[in-house]
Structure 1
Amino acid sequence: MRHSGIKATLRSYASNKYLILMFLPGFLLFLLFQYVPMYGILIAFKDFKILEGIMGSPWAGFKHFQYLFAGEGFTDALRNTVIIALLKYAFVFPAPIVLAILLNEVRLSWFRRSIQTITYLPHFFSWVILGGILFTFLGRDGGFNRILGYFGFQPISWLIEPSYFYGIIVATDIWQSVGWGSIVYFAALAGIDPTLYEAAIADGASRWRRIWHITLPAITPVITIMLLLSIGNFLSVGFDQIYNLMTATTSKVGDILDTYVLRRLLTMNYELGAAAGVFSSTFGLLLVILANRLVKLYDKDQGIW
């Protein structure tokens, strides 16, 4: 019985050998860049010496975590990270949902496709390019200040003043990600039964009521899954974006855990950098577990496990 099961499995693999071959490169790359680096977690618990390697270095226990939490700049970096994360969950996360719902209500297909194309484009540019565009446009002599000058306003150093930093981070993240992020919600909206809308219209429901009572409940499972998956990266608030937009004058409000880790690595302090990474990942994992438990209490059919 066992041998017949093995033979059936081998036959199944043989009949799908081309699919398996197509799958292997991506799987190997995933292992290489996602699982193999986990070996470096050990650095956080060792007095790492390059010549002795990770396994040859002596164990240090939780000493580096104690140094991390008491270290200069860590508290500020953690506070800035949490503030930016909360702002992004409040404004950036709902933006693709709102865009998808609004465009779903548009009946002019050419207009809908045009808006989708325009909003998708920024996603394909790196933050190095987008940062250069923003520094040119938002600089003191940039295009935006020139427009303000026509209306009698004084030029503003948008990327220099710390008071504008959080707003710029949120606004530019929406600009870069709103279109691409809306794709999954467009797919969810496409699966809604159109007869539900027809029945609501026949009952005299307004457009807002149709959105509130039909559209949103229908895509709530997708929203829940996307939210739970993103919570795991709560403390990863966009290193590329912040590193390319942060200046010396905005570092007090822009320094986050990722930039803190980078500074530690540049000073050859690998242990503290690894400890910060382990802390961030562990915190994200605990948040996902807690959030999934809360979702299960509300609806047992939802959640990621």
Structure 2
Amino acid sequence: METIKVLNEKTEISVKKGYETKNSILKQIKNSWQLYVIFFLPLVYIIVFHYIPMYGVTIAFKSFNPVQGILGSPWIGFDHFVRFFHSYEFKRVILNTLILSFYQLLAGFPFPIILALALNYVNKKHFKKTVQMVSYAPHFISVVVMVGIILVFLETRGPINSLLNLLGFDSINFMGNPDNFKSIYVWSGIWQNIGFGCIIYLAALSSVSPTLHEAAVVDGATKLQRIWHIDIPGILPIMIVLFILDMGSILSVGFEKVLLLQNPLNLRTSEVIDTYVYKIGLVSAVPNYSYAAAIGLFKAVIGFIMIITVNKLAKKVGQENLW
């Protein structure tokens, strides 16, 4: 009897706690209903356009037929994945994607940090605002316009080759040499995004306590020493979080720009997973939706594994992490 009584008391306590929790949640929603209204629309957008379409990923495991639909198409398991792993294009596409991704990450990641640290020590406001405006502006140029600018500058009779000819050098076919593609893609991307990327670091630097700099100046520290011992540790958590997010998209190098910069001469080094999926699934004479979906799912799984792995490594070394 005593055991039953204790169980009943525990049940009543848990029910009471649940009721109180429910009331507190409803009270919180009532008090801050404006915030929940603002949050509602993005939530609906994410559910409708990001979660519901996940059901379509099942065609990666089916021999999809548009007439039969997703439900009516027969299951074939991992056949499309095996086909991709054994295909002639697998090695080339994966290597191109990884090389371009790591090149972009290693070359592009430090520059917004360097620009933010440099601007943080600029005392002339007009000069600082001018540099910010000039460096931010390219980010707002559309991809199509940006690629058009790149192609005009790098064509055989463009400004760069004209300058080389004036200096006594021969013209260079930049877009016709496959070895030039990765550098053109990465460094043009750095130029376009360096200013916008440093905004986060400038915001992080503004939160660093000025008293630390004042104490360092009194102790005779130089600007480089202040950057190394005060500024970089102050923005290190933001750097780690952004690095983790970048690693999660390691196989997503940017579909539009790569596709627009491609031509038959540089296809050997410019074909990446995104453009390959596009050509297989949509542009091909006989579109293979299931095969393209399988390749896209493989890319997503690799990105998920990478972001989990890097986040755990950051947690183990005691750095900032996503969760």
TM-score, length of structure 1 as denominator length: 0.95
Aligned residues: 304
After the TM superposition, list the runs of 4 or more consecutive aligned residues in structure 1 that deviate by more than 6 angstroms. Answer: none
Q: Would you say 1:119 and 2:128 are equivalent positions?
A: no
Alpha-carbon deviations, 1:52-92, whole Å to 9, x = none? Answer: 11122111111110011112312111100010011011111
Q: Which of 150, 154, 157 is equivalent to 2:170?
A: 154
Q: Would you say 1:215 and 2:231 are equivalent positions?
A: yes
| Map of 2:32 onto structure 1 | 16
Find the aligned partners of 1:303 and 1:7 in 2 and give their Cα distance: 33
Shift of 1:3: 4.0
| Map of 1:274 onto structure 2 | 293
1:71 alignment partner, SS class: coil
Aligned pairs for 1:68-83 (under 5 A) are 68-83=84-99
1:160 alignment partner, SS class: coil
Shift of 1:158: 1.5
Alpha-carbon deviations, 1:235-258, whole Å to 9, x = none? Answer: 001112211112211110000000
Shift of 1:13: 2.0
Out of 164-173 and 150-159, give the one that drifted further.
150-159
Contact 1:74–1:257 (Cα < 8 Å) also in 2: no
Which residue identity is paired with 2:321? G
Find the aligned partners of 1:194 and 1:7 in 2 and give their Cα distance: 44
Q: Would you say 1:298 and 2:314 are equivalent positions?
A: no
| Map of 2:116 onto structure 1 | 100
Q: Which has the higher contact order (CA 8 A, sep 6+)?
A: 1
Alpha-carbon deviations, 1:101-131, whole Å to 9, x = none? Answer: 1111211111111111111112112211100
Q: Would you say 1:187 and 2:206 are equivalent positions?
A: no
Alpha-carbon deviations, 1:192-237, whole Å to 9, x = none? Answer: 1111111112212121111111111111111000101111100001
TM-score, length of structure 2 as denominator length: 0.90
Find the aligned partners of 2:94 and 2:20 in 1 and give their Cα distance: 56
Unaligned runs of 5+ in 2: 1-15
Which residue identity is paired with 1:59? W
Contact 2:105–2:246 (Cα < 8 Å) also in 1: no
Shift of 1:302: 2.1
Identity of aligned residues (%): 37
Shift of 1:9: 2.6
1:182 alignment partner, SS class: helix
Shift of 1:155: 1.6
Contact 1:296–1:302 (Cα < 8 Å) also in 2: yes
Q: Would you say 1:249 and 2:268 are equivalent positions?
A: no
Shift of 1:40: 1.7
Alpha-carbon deviations, 1:11-70, whole Å to 9, x = none? Answer: 332333333222222221222222122112111111111111112211111111001111
Contact 2:63–2:73 (Cα < 8 Å) also in 1: yes
| Map of 2:220 onto structure 1 | 204
Find the aligned partners of 2:159 and 2:310 in 1 and give their Cα distance: 43
Which residue identity is paired with 1:277? G
Shift of 1:297: 1.7
Contact 2:96–2:270 (Cα < 8 Å) also in 1: yes
Shift of 1:164: 1.3
Find the aligned partners of 2:158 and 2:148 in 1 and give their Cα distance: 12
Please give the root-mean-square deviation of Cα atoms over the aligned residues, in Å. 1.5
Q: Which of 285, 288, 293 is equivalent to 2:307?
A: 288
Find the aligned partners of 1:152 and 1:198 in 2 and give their Cα distance: 53
